[in-house]
Amino acid sequence: MPAFSKVLVANRGAVASRVLRALGSLGVPSVAVYSDADRGAPWLAQAGEAVYLGGSPPRESYLNEGALLDVARRTGADALHPGYGFLSENAGFAEAVEKAGLRFIGPAPRWIAAMGHKTRARAFAAEQGLPVGRGSGVLAPDRDAILRAAEEIGYPVLVKPAAGGGGIGMLPARDAGQLLAAVERAASMAERGFASREVYLERLVERPRHVEIQLLGDRHGRVAHVLERDCSVQRRHQKIIEEATAPGIDRTILEPLMARIADTFGRLGYDNLGTVEMLLAPDGEFRFLEMNTRLQVEHGVTEQVTGIDLVAAQVRSAAGDRLDELLPRPPAANGHAIQARVYAEDPRRFLPSPGSCASSCPPPAATSVSIPATRPAARSRRTMIRCSPR
């Protein structure tokens, strides 16, 4: 049992439920928080305590740093799990948690800050000898400088926000005629999404594979990889299908790369869960894309094939457990797991249009199933949802 007397889960919905389940399995008391919009939400019943946080707008509740720290103080929590999204990659918040005498269940704030800015993360990866594709620094608001940067990289290029990810504000440009308009539009989207207009350029890789490597580190200078996931099926640079392990990739190339990445981050003191995202180009070369210093939405497919509870391991790592306690043996895959995200859209306008959910028939247990490689088939479990159009 980790040396935490109580953990505050500073999030909502599916990720709050997942973290609360892991805390329950470890026997650690938990505190959930909720906004006006989430009164009576089902995950609240999983926690030992549920405390009202604020109004429905996230700025009044799940993004209200002062309110979260006040709840932690009032309930006697000595650790905080940020989940994903919201404040999970906010280095300033992680520092505030630590200064308040709590343990932030995630990597050290310096890692969140270092990897949170994409151009600095690319520069860091290059300094460590990891493969990085051609790109620019943050673009200056100068037409000629922008055009020169693209010419040096070579078209086509991808304009990307420097202060955030998730596919927001990523726009291609195939020639100089498209570039300036794409930069202006991407900067506007970045300002709305991340409160920063900083954008940069990367060489656009046509038809790449998106492969992410799961890392797990401890507070004693050791890091191991927990295999990889394939997230290549995307729509507007946002993931739809996630698989573990990545099918059809040469393991003699992938496995040394994963070991090299784990060794690099271990040598530098990475100290919790993290994911290094790579692009695999059609020429067979891997290129560093970014690093996410948090629990990933798609962590479940890795758990399905390895049998490792990554969330529990994340909590135990933050509490001081050593890597050989978290991973008594090297992770190995047993079968294959797939996660699919539901994208409900108007096919004529290509805009979100979920309609209303008329009925839902949940499965009797989990909605995912691991199929051992030794079995020719396994019964599937389905979640059936019938929605009416707008």
In the chain, what are the domains?
A: 7-105 (3.40.50.20), 136-203 (3.30.1490.20), 209-340 (3.30.470.20), 343-390 (no CATH)
pLDDT number for residue 363: 57
pLDDT number for residue 350: 72
Give the separation between CA 390 and CA 388, rounded to whole angstroms.
7
Catalytic residue list contains 110: no
pLDDT number for residue 376: 31
- Tell me which residues of the chain have a pLDDT lower than 50: 366-390
Burial class (CB in 10 A: 0-12, 13-18, 19+), 83: buried
Burial class (CB in 10 A: 0-12, 13-18, 19+), 147: middle
Task: Name the β-bridge partners of 209.
Answer: 280
**Residues near 59 by beta carbon (within 8 Å), at least 6 away in sequence:** none
Cis peptide before 245 (omega within 30 of 0): yes
Distances (CA, A) of 288 to 16, 41, 120, 258: 30, 39, 12, 12
CA dihedral 189→165→317→304, nearest 10 degrees, is 120
Task: Name the β-bridge partners of 31.
Answer: 8, 49
Give the separation between CA 47 and CA 37, rounded to whole angstroms.
18
Question: Mapped to the 3 state alphabet, what secondary structure does the chain carry?
Answer: CCCCCCEEECCCHHHHHHHHHHHHHHCCCEEEEEEHHHCCCHHHHHCCEEEEEECCCHHHCCCCHHHHHHHHHHHCCCEEECCCCCCCCCHHHHHHHHHCCCEECCCCHHHHHHHHCHHHHHHHHHHCCCCECCECCCCCCCHHHHHHHHHHHCCCEEEEECCCCCCCCCEEECCHHHHHHHHHHHHHHHHHHHCCCCEEEEECCCCCEEEEEEEEECCCCCEEEEEEEEEEEEECCEEEEEEECCCCCCHHHHHHHHHHHHHHHHHCCCCCEEEEEEEECCCCCEEEEEEECCCCCCHHHHHHHHCCCHHHHHHHHHHCCCHHHHCCCCCCCCCEEEEECCCCEECCCCEECCCEEEEEECCCCCCCCCECCCCCCCCCCCCEEEEECC
Catalytic residue chosen out of the listed positions 197, 219, 294, 316: 294
For the stretch 88-130, pLDDT in tens is 999 999 999 999 999 999 999 999 999 988 999 999 999 999 9
Range 251-254 contact pairs with CB under 8 angstroms and sequence separation of 24 or more: 253/284, 253/286, 254/211, 254/228
Scan for tokens 């207009």, then name that residue: 197
- Whole-model pTM: value is 0.86
Give the separation between CA 280 and CA 253, rounded to whole angstroms.
11
CA dihedral 74→106→19→302, nearest 10 degrees, is 180
Contact 97, 104 (CB under 8 A): yes
